[in-house]
Amino acid sequence: MIRIQVDMGKCQHYGQCVFEAPETFRLNDDDRLEYEREANEADREKLEAAADVCPMQAITLLD
């Protein structure tokens, strides 16, 4: 399992992570980021892409 942390103090809710890993990240009706706290190892590539594309570098993946 991969644990996911988003520093909501840094996150500006641009939603770039949603394009890379929509199974994990989503914008709610108020355009605020929501996300799953854990994901399967099979999703690692998408999660790493989401973390890389985040303009605020707010996403951390933990093994």
pLDDT in tens, 12-45: 999 999 999 999 999 999 999 999 999 999 999 9
The pTM of the whole model exceeds 0.75: yes
Q: What 8-state DSSP symbol labels residue 25?
A: E
pLDDT at 34: 98
Query: How far apart, in Å, do the first and last CA atoms of the chain sit?
Result: 7
Confidence of residue 59 (pLDDT cuts 50, 70, 90): very high
Q: Phi, psi (5° rounding) for residue 27?
A: -100, 130
- Counting the structural domains of the chain, the total is 1
Where in the sequence is the domain holding 42, given as residue range(s)? Answer: 2-62
Distance (Å, whole) CA 57 – CA 40: 21
What does R_g of the chain's alpha carbons equal in angstroms?
Answer: 10
The CATH number linked to 46 is 3.30.70.20
Q: Which amino acid is at 42?
A: A
